[in-house]
Amino acid sequence: MHAIPDNTVDTLIEARWVIPVETPRQVLAQHAIVISDGLIRDILPTAEAHTKYNARRRFQLNEHVLIPGLINLHTHAAMTLLRGLADDLPLMDWLNGHIWPAEAKFVSPEFVRDGTLLACAEMLRGGVTCFNDMYFFPEAAAQAALSAGMRAAIGMIAVDFPTAYAADADDYLSKGLAVRDEFRGEPLLSFTLAPHAPYTVSDKTFAKVLTYAEQLDLPVHIHLHETHGEIEESLRQYGVRPLERLHRLGLLGPNLIAVHMVQSNAQEIRLLAEHGCHVAHCPSSNLKLASGIGPVVEKLEHNVNVGLGTDGAASNNRLDIFTEMRLAALLAKGQSRHAAALPAHQALAMATINAAKALGIDHLTGSLAPGKAADITAVDLSAPETQPCYDVASHLVYAAGRENVSHVWVNGNLVLDERRLTTLDIRELNARIAFWHEKISSLK
């Protein structure tokens, strides 16, 4: 048997542009990315790559830009099965009158598996390589993500009321920790503690979450300051706003991912910054549920790390990070009346490296650099809608969309090839979704 030469690599991807995101505003023209054993081995000019490496597989993407795989910092993946079920309603009406009753009747491991597979299919086709999930039956979500070949942060959800998944807060946490133990060796999976929200979680449960977070060094992923109603209820029940309540309980810190933070004042933004907290900004969901427009520019000015999320498909109704990038940038400009607010490169960072930092996986993914996992999205800019191209980063945020994503690699594996999913059978998946559609339609 002959030894394989050191210059033989698994994959060589040549592209017109590469945006590593590792260095702000950097754009590399006519460069190639070299992949071996699931990792990025090199990023170098294409001509140099031809002389330096022999690749088992080579991709020539002459009108494409390569970017880090996008990261969806907040979603409820299985809720794709509830997409469009109860639109155009306020948050609490939507939850109490429609979503929670549907979940009470239908949510099961099978529901979560199929809904998460559908979400993975949608996200991979949109260039998303990693998602931060919060939902019941996290074991089923983990299995679905692995089946799709997708990276996921699996939330160990906790609430203070019984569901089909668990009887009480202790049961939620116990089951979540058991899932973490079961899947700890999976390189595509990480975990978060996911107390749902201040209005569904007691101080006693928060204390347990904090203990586990500190002992296991896990992020804490929570809905926070989403609506005026949430603030008013907290003032009535606890005498303080939700963020201050969490502060007094000791939960503010670099492992906190505060989802939404729409209703946040200057003092609260300073508090987030002082404690190194992260924010998952979900502009589409916040608009659709009439929660408001969060003061993102102020958070960024105070160096709060902000990533982008879609929320669940039941309240968005798309798991589309391209849309969130564009909308976040436009809303920031309109709200601040400053056209230079949240420029395209910053929006792309929010969808990649910022989200990876929030999840504690930025050593692994979120940017393109030698030694990091080969989580890569290729975007084809050859269509009339994206011509001509003077600024490729600007085009990614303001002109291109998920329909322009052509190829996706996760951990070096090609999971989307010329817009064809390689890990999921769409016909089989659609048959499962049709089954759930018929069942859930009977609820109406």
| pLDDT tens by residue, 185-229 | 999 999 999 999 999 999 999 999 999 999 999 999 999 999 999
Please determine, for residue 4, whether its predicted confidence score (pLDDT) is greater than 60.
no
Residue 2's pLDDT is 45
What are the phi and psi torsion angles at 286 (to 5°)? -60, -35
Average pLDDT, the chain: 96
Residue with tokens 């490729």: 392
Q: What is the mean pLDDT of residues 288-304?
A: 96
Structure tokens at 38: 């699931």
Q: Which of 94-103, 130-139, 324-333 has the lowest mean pLDDT?
A: 94-103
**3-class state of residue 203 by DSSP:** helix
**Ranges of each domain in the chain:** 8-68+367-411, 70-359
Q: What is the mean pLDDT of residues 73-98?
A: 91
Torsion, Cα of 254, 308, 44, 422 (10° steps): 120
Structure tokens at 120: 């993975």
Residue 89's pLDDT is 86
Q: What is the mean pLDDT of residues 294-305?
A: 97
Please determine, for residue 257, whether its predicted confidence score (pLDDT) is greater than 60.
yes
How far is 224 from 198, CA to CA, in rounded Å?
Answer: 7
pTM: 0.97
Please determine, for residue 1, whether its predicted confidence score (pLDDT) is greater than 50.
no
- Per-residue confidence at 3, pLDDT binned at 50, 70, 90? very low
| pLDDT tens by residue, 10-58 | 999 999 999 999 999 999 999 999 999 999 999 999 999 999 999 999 9
Please determine, for residue 100, whether its predicted confidence score (pLDDT) is greater than 90.
no
What is the topology classification, in CATH, of domain 8-68+367-411? Urease, subunit C; domain 1 (2.30.40)
- Its sign, for the CA torsion 197, 202, 205, 206, is positive
Please determine, for residue 6, whether its predicted confidence score (pLDDT) is greater than 90.
no
Residue 281's pLDDT is 98
- Residue 61 CA from chain centroid, whole number: 26
CATH classification number, 70-359, choose in 2.70.150.10, 1.10.10.350, 2.60.15.10, 3.20.20.140: 3.20.20.140
Please determine, for residue 231, whether its predicted confidence score (pLDDT) is greater than 50.
yes
Within 175-271, strands assigned E span 189-195, 220-224, 256-260
Please determine, for residue 443, whether its predicted confidence score (pLDDT) is greater than 80.
no
| pLDDT tens by residue, 268-278 | 999 999 999 99
